[in-house]
Chains A and B, each alone.
Chain A
Amino acid sequence: IFVGTWNVNGKAPPTDVENLKRWLNCSDEPPDIYAIGFQELDLSKEAFIFNETVREAEWQKALEWSTHPKAKYRLVGIVRLVGIQLAVMINYTHFEHVSNVAVDYVGTGILGKMGNKGGVAVSFQLHNTTLCFVNCHLAAHVEEVERRNQDYNDINTKINFKRHPQAIKDHDQIYWLGDMNYRIRRLDTHEVKKHIAMGDLNTILCHDQLNQEKERGKILAGFEEGDINFQPTYKYDVNSDRYDSSEKARAPAWTDRIFFKGKGIYQQLYRSFMELKISDHKPVNALFRSEIGIVNREKYRRIHEDLLKSMDKLENEFLPQVTIDSTDVVFDTVKFREPQAKDIIVANTGMVPVDFKFIQKNDEKSYCKEWLRITPFCGRINPGEKSDIRLEINLEQALQSLDDILVLHLEGGKDLFITVSAKCQRSCFTMSVSTLCRCPVPILNLTPEQLKHAENGQSQVLYSVPRELWLLIDFLYRKALKTRDLFESSALHEEMKKIRECLDSGTLDQISDSPYAVAESLLIFLSFTKDPVVPYHLHKRCIEACESFAQCKEILEQFHKLERNVFLYVCMFLQDLLKYSVDNGLDCHGLSIIFGDILMRTPMRNTPKPHCRKKTRFIEQFLTNDLSDLIQVNKQ
């Protein structure tokens, strides 16, 4: 890498580029990279204020003519702030390995932009090594050491390439060049010149402000510089090798310097070049052998793939894993409102905690059917631990069999399918009134054929109300007219179960011993008939008509005959019950609330119940008015 710096004092390039060539060709082999920094490229007002100059193009052309003849170069990046310019060129055979080029500048003059002091930088990546070149021109005058330190630090910290690597310090290799403008301290012009004449540079170098400031840790921390074996490069009379002979007679100084920082940089040359005399500065250049990291594609690829493989392996190993003791849960024959439960055991056999959750299938509303309950339906299991999940079924519909597939999803992992199935035993509960009125024998004794015909309404109507309803009400007529709190105290599950079995199979003459169980069974029977006793489509009209018995009666005529029978049969029974209210403590309003809610239930279970008061009122009409004319019609 050839790094050069030259304060050209606003001069145009020489017309004869011979000396320029000699400066830039200091080795037999062509450098791979040229980084050339100029200062005071243009001292005109235009350059100063508008940052415009013709010099840039002129000098760039001159450089292009003068680079090493054994190679062709391409520009990597060029950046200029007023007169501070930096161009980086690379042997074009390397150009394809250059990437990520960025430039930036920092002005340290007024407003940070105007003025001719500051720094410019070019950053790029060559193969796998990031390089940064900085060219600066710091504040002038002997006494401005602090100012120069500050300029340096401003440039060093404020240059920002707005991508990675961002700051100067983030690069693998940094080359810092420029007119640093540090002078010689406590030696007057005369003394300096004397030492130079004697060839004693070391004495002067001891008084070099830059070396002193660097030693004090104020600037260029970590940077190295080659040994200076050339005489001070400033300030000369133009077109001569004579130091400033003007009245000011400034003391000569090594204002023009090159530093480097980073791994694998070996300096081979550090010199000034006396033959270029157009400026009051002599150009300085260094030559470096710098190690550039080259990616071995094959190796990179292999490592890349191996890495991905081991990441896949890790990822797969750390996926959540569970086993389930049974993925096929079969329940015993399910009967109406006789809940059954089974537990499945989910064991975390993986390496990570598992968050599980039952998820919906496709477009279904819930993660399981309405007859199933899963507790818990989501949760966490730690590695090596197990969790019981309870599946509970409760049948309240007329279904022949229960089938569901549950999808147990492990967060971030697989899904497991669990099938749940059961056969159902049919029951008179959940049947329609129409079917029951057509059944010649108890429901469990029906042949499939008989059931089918009863269900689709093909067979004859045999009873005006379902036989089962009659059995329940008849029992209450006989045994419970004077029983207190009839519809309010709940019965034992066992008693209820016995009644259901009895009604479904017709095995016993006496369906129960307990009036309470029979009363509750009646409520359940009416609650689970396939359709509400008062047809749903008439509910709205019933509610509107609830204050007028005449209108209520009209609506009753809209009922199907069998539902109408059931409705009147129940109401009559309730009227009869109320005759004994002194004994049984029942009152009309209370019964109307209970039966309004049941006889006029909405098809959807577990939904809010609207218009309760009006439904109560509708029933009340039929419990307080004389129904005999309606029944007369019925009997015909």
Chain B
Amino acid sequence: MENMATRTQTAQRPNGSAQGKICQFKLVLLGESAVGKSSLVLRFVKGQFHEYQESTIGAAFLTQTVCLDDTTVKFEIWDTAGQERYHSLAPMYYRGAQAAIVVYDITNQDTFGRAKTWVKELQRQASPNIVIALAGNKQDLANKRMVEFEEAQNYADENTLLFMETSAKTAMNVNDIFLAIAKKLPRNEQASGASASGQGRRLAEGDTGARAAGSCCK
């Protein structure tokens, strides 16, 4: 299916532009429960926020596409349950993921500690070139802040993580963090501009498997 879509797009793209390029990535959200993982996804995907967000028991799945200058990046988002009892299941979701957002709650120091252990686990167990972003959520509650911005920023720098403080409630930095990830993800070389031979590479039949996440195709 995806193959077909990509192909059609190539054929119909306006000349000289490379917007036919679609990259698909698997992204997983990790972090202690109630830090706002599901809320971030809901804000990003549907532009909504619920004060009483149902807690996730399982791994929720949604997709969302973002457009960069020259590419369309499609995220397959896995929002995992944060409770400790489900910890052993997390590898099922971060394995094979190209990106992860590790979330903590800036009003709760423990969740920051937990986030650090998640980062460590990802660095050890996940794919070596996974793009990790750290999100200090509930920025709207900065008056009850327990984790200093600088502390988190320094930690992120040391571990070469993307870092932003976010608020699913006010939408602050929510799109931005996903966009920043999209930009940092490896993509194929840019399509050459207009030229006599500027034709899209044709995909061989079955070139990209269904849901073969992370593969870029023009």
Contacts and interface: CB of A to CB of B under 8 A. Distances in A.
Q: Are A and B subunits of one complex?
A: yes
B58 A417 contact: yes
A502 interface: no
A311 B74 CA distance: 11
A468 to B, nearest CB: 37
B13 to A, nearest CB: 9
Instruction: Classify the interface of chain B: helix, strand, loop or mixed.
Output: mixed
B153 interface: no
A405 B89 contact: yes
Nearest to A313: B46
Given A99-B199, A308-B72, A405 B62 contact: no
**Chain A: number of interface residues, binned into ranges:** 35 or more
A295 B13 CA distance: 10
A99 B195 contact: yes
A98 B65 CA distance: 30
A173 to B, nearest CB: 15
A141 interface: no
Interface string B62-86: 1111010000100000000100011
B19 A362 contact: no
Contact of A100 (B15, B57, B59, B60): B15
Contact of A127 (B15, B45, B57, B193): B15
Contacts of B194: 95-99
A407 B92 contact: yes
**Chain B: number of interface residues, binned into ranges:** 20 to 34
B86 A405 contact: yes
A415 B61 CA distance: 8
B15 A125 contact: yes
B14 A416 contact: no
Contact of A417 (B89, B197, B198): B89
Interface centre among B58, B59, B89 (most CB of A within 10 A): B58
Given A300-B14, A361-B89, A417-B57, A101 B65 contact: no
Contact of A311 (B17, B65, B88): B65
Interface string A3-33: 0000000000000000000000000000000
A309 B59 CA distance: 23
Contacts of B57: 327, 416-417
B89 A319 contact: no
A98 B196 contact: yes
Contact of B67 (A99, A126, A304, A311): A304
Nearest to B95: A362
A407 B197 CA distance: 50
Contacts of A97: 15-16, 194
Interface in B177-198: 193-198
B38 to A, nearest CB: 12
B113 interface: no
B4 interface: no
B64 A312 contact: yes
Interface in A394-429: 405, 407-408, 413-417, 419
A164 interface: yes
A216 interface: no
B11 interface: yes
Nearest to B90: A362
A270 B15 CA distance: 31
Contacts of A301: 19, 67
A414 B14 contact: no
A9 to B, nearest CB: 32
Interface string B37-68: 00000000110000000000111111111010
A327 B86 CA distance: 12
A616 to B, nearest CB: 45
B58 A415 contact: yes
A558 B72 CA distance: 72
A370 interface: no
Nearest to B199: A100
B209 interface: no
A125 to B, nearest CB: 5
A316 interface: yes
B159 to A, nearest CB: 25
B67 A417 contact: no
Contacts of A312: 45, 63-65
Given A96-B193, A97-B15, A98-B194, A361 B65 contact: no
Contacts of B14: 127-128, 295, 300
Interface string A80-105: 00000000000000011111110000
A315 interface: yes
Contacts of A408: 58
Nearest to A294: B14
A64 interface: no
B63 A315 contact: yes
A361 B85 contact: no
A415 B64 contact: no
Contacts of B45: 312, 316
B211 to A, nearest CB: 9
Contact of A308 (B15, B60, B65): B65
Interface in A104-123: none
Contacts of A415: 58-59, 61, 92
A305 interface: yes
A415 B16 CA distance: 42
Nearest to B69: A301
Contact of B11 (A164, A297, A319): A164
11 contacts: A96-B193, A99-B196, A99-B199, A100-B198, A300-B14, A301-B67, A304-B19, A308-B65, A312-B63, A316-B62, A417-B59
Given A99-B195, A362-B89, 7 more contacts: A76-B196, A99-B16, A304-B67, A319-B61, A327-B58, A414-B61, A415-B59
Q: Which 5 residue pairs of A and B lie closest in terms of their CB atoms, listed nearest first?
A: A99-B15, A416-B58, A295-B14, A414-B61, A101-B196
